[in-house]
A = this chain, B = another copy of it.
Amino acid sequence: MPDLLTPPRVRRGWYIACPSDALGAAPRAMRLLGDPVVLFRDADGTAGALVDRCPHRNVPLSGGAVVDGALRCPYHGWRFARDGRCAHIPALDGPPGAAHSADAHTVREQQGFVWIWGQAGGEPDTDPFHFSLIDAPGYLVVRREVAATGSVHAVAENALDVPHTAFLHGGLFRTDRDRAPIQCVVTRWADRVACEYIGEARPEGLVGRLLSPSGGLVTHFDRFILPSIVQVEYRIGEENHILVDAALTPVDDFETRLTAVVALKTRLPGFLVRPVVTPFALRIFGQDQVILKEQTESMQHFGEQRFVSTDIDLLGPHILKLLQRAERGDLGDLDRAPTVRETTMRV
């Protein structure tokens, strides 16, 4: 029987392990794709990541301490370097060998985040995602981590889905009234998929009214980039630009951490916008968390994911196919021209 529940596990990809400032002198435990990982900094402060299991007697290394730049197991005191090599076995009359190594993940630290390659022992063939507006002048930038009970696929689809907003977030930025057709152009490359919404009116809800009191057309893109980046971009009139970049970390099959970088440029002064952005985003995401958890529990209860999609499930099915291909290691041809499809949606 095919497994209809387990979501794709994409190991060949970069994921955010934690913000840089969350990793200090003590080792830090996390999970990635269900497996325990321990992060630590060596004597130079360079971040490393090991599978969180001592090869000797299988206890978690995260319970230990960093000694002379190596991570020391709390049970028998074996010490491991950033690359997993065993540096020292106390009481042993001789040096450790290759058999005593721990498995290591490649780590990169950039823009204030510790990124980890999904496959222990694997060689990265790409670079971590770059947040384009994180230091852009004139933008208000907010960073925030949140967690959801749902697969990367479910969380990404939810984040990029327009039709649910009128119900789950009813009144906050869309309503179920006075719908008008808009054009949706979905473009899919080998490693990403994007949707442009053409003809969208300024949302009727609170956000729209604040940003662009006089109304006007909206430029709106939703994008998903392998292995787990979601991007929502709005331009409302000339003055307003919102770019939400979120990197999803698959903690476990149905547990996803979302690291969001929200970049905002608006006609409103920063002192007005700043106190509103985070509470507003957290309220919306709180509603999403509830429904994602219910969705996950329902699928787990029935032992399957059985979705029926329509033409207006614009990105979810593409995201699933991208993840499934990436899990198989089928990267496709990055240079091939994208496929494009147009659909009408009533928003």
Contacts and interface: CB of A to CB of B under 8 A. Distances in A.
A90 B178 CA distance: 11
A99 B56 contact: no
B298 A36 contact: yes
Contacts of A168: 74-75
Oligomer: number of copies? 3
A294 B344 contact: no
Contact of A306 (B58, B93, B161, B167): B58
B60 A310 contact: no
Contacts of A166: 77, 90-91
What band does the interface of chain A fall in when counting residues whose beta carbon is under 8 Å from B?
A: 35 or more
A163 interface: yes
B92 A310 contact: yes
A100 B55 contact: no
Contacts of A89: 310, 312
Given A92-B311, A179-B90, A63 B294 contact: yes
B162 A91 contact: yes
Contact of A298 (B60, B92, B302): B60
Shortest beta-carbon contacts, A-B, top 8: A91-B163, A77-B167, A93-B344, A55-B308, A59-B295, A76-B164, A59-B294, A58-B298
